[in-house]
Amino acid sequence: MLVIEGLKSYYGKIMALKGISFNVKEGEIISIIGSNGAGKTTTLRVISGLLRDIEGNISFMGKSIVKFKPYEIAKLGIIHVPEGRGVFPNLTVYENLEIGGYTIKDKKRVKSNIEKVYEIFPRLLERRYQKAGTLSGGEQQMLAIGRGLIAEPKILLLDEPSLGLAPIVVKEIFKVIKKINREDKVTILLVEQNAKISMEISERTYVLETGLVVKEGISSQLINDDFVKKAYLGL
Ligand SMILES: Nc1ncnc2c1ncn2[C@@H]1O[C@H](COP(=O)(O)OP(=O)(O)O)[C@@H](O)[C@H]1O
Ligand SMILES: [Mg+2]
């Protein structure tokens, strides 16, 4: 579904991605794990069209998207849930969700998608008139994912959904991510520093270190790999 080949990305003279290749098949949950500065966020920003000083190729459903604008990429169903949630603090939960539907002309469909998100995250329904900035970190993450779902993603790009959340909240959020994948058939590309939980939830994992994929494999096998255990699981 999504194929990345020899991808390099530059910030001025600095090369943040040094030629990475990976793929995501329809229906999968794929995780990219890596520590701070590895290039996880850069990878997602390149895929969603926000960074364009790049080399290599990105194709989605068989078609190269490297020349596409962020809006066009979102319209294809590639929806990015950014690091740090990116919710609008002064808007209500409902207004934030409405913004998620910006690529959809039919506003009735946006309304019905918002209803579906309330079913997935009942907490957002309870708090629909509350300003997003007053939500807890976990609720803001739910809102960020919910807003992504309004846009009817084929693939959801999730940037560190566990960041800054208590373990119990992380568990709750990851349970929902799995459910969205299974029941709503949304393919997921997850980037995370939390190696354990992302390998537990995903089919396959790529390990990113300073802009290079240094290891890849079936998550259930990688989780027992000596290198991964030592470097990422503290074992
Ligand atoms: N806007 C930027 N300008 C210059 N360098 C950047 C910028 N954003 C990120 N970088 C650098 O690119 C590398 C990868 O960063 P990033 O993709 O944010 O990593 P991660 O998300 O894995 O923590 C880091 O060395 C970081 O310092
Ligand atoms: Mg990041």
- Per-residue pLDDT of 151-193, as tens digits, reads 999 999 999 999 999 999 999 999 999 999 999 999 999 999 9
Residues, beta carbon < 5 Å, ion ligand 2: 40-41, 83
**What confidence score (pLDDT) does residue 235 get?**
79
Q: What are phi and psi of 185, to 5 degrees?
A: 60, 40
- Per-residue pLDDT of 204-233, as tens digits, reads 999 999 999 999 999 999 999 999 999 999
Average pLDDT over residues 71-88: 95
145's CB contacts (< 8 A; 6+ apart) are 81, 121, 156, 158, 161, 173, 176, 177, 180
The per-residue pLDDT of the chain, averaged, comes to 97
Distance 10 CA to ligand 1 centre (A): 10
Please tell me if the CB atom of residue 11 comes closer than 6 angstroms to any atom of ligand 1.
yes
Burial string for 101-118 (b: 16+ CB within 10 Å, else e) reads bebeeeeeebeebbeebb
Q: What are phi and psi of 63, to 5 degrees?
A: -125, 135
234's CB contacts (< 8 A; 6+ apart) are none
Domains of the chain: 2-232 (3.40.50.300)
Answer whether residue 139 shows pLDDT above 90.
yes
Q: Look at ligand 1, atom 17, and give the residue with the nearest C-alpha.
A: 39
The answer to whether 51 and 42 are in contact (CB under 8 A) is yes
- Per-residue pLDDT of 90-117, as tens digits, reads 999 999 999 999 989 999 999 999 999 9
**What confidence score (pLDDT) does residue 203 get?**
98
42 CA: nearest ligand 1 atom? 17
What separation in angstroms does the CA of 230 have from each of 125, 222, 234? Answer: 42, 12, 5
pTM above 0.85, yes or no: yes
Q: Distance between CA atoms of 54 and 9, rounded to whole angstroms?
A: 4
Residue of 10, 33, 41, 207 with the most ligand 1 atoms within 8 Å of its CB, for mutation: 41
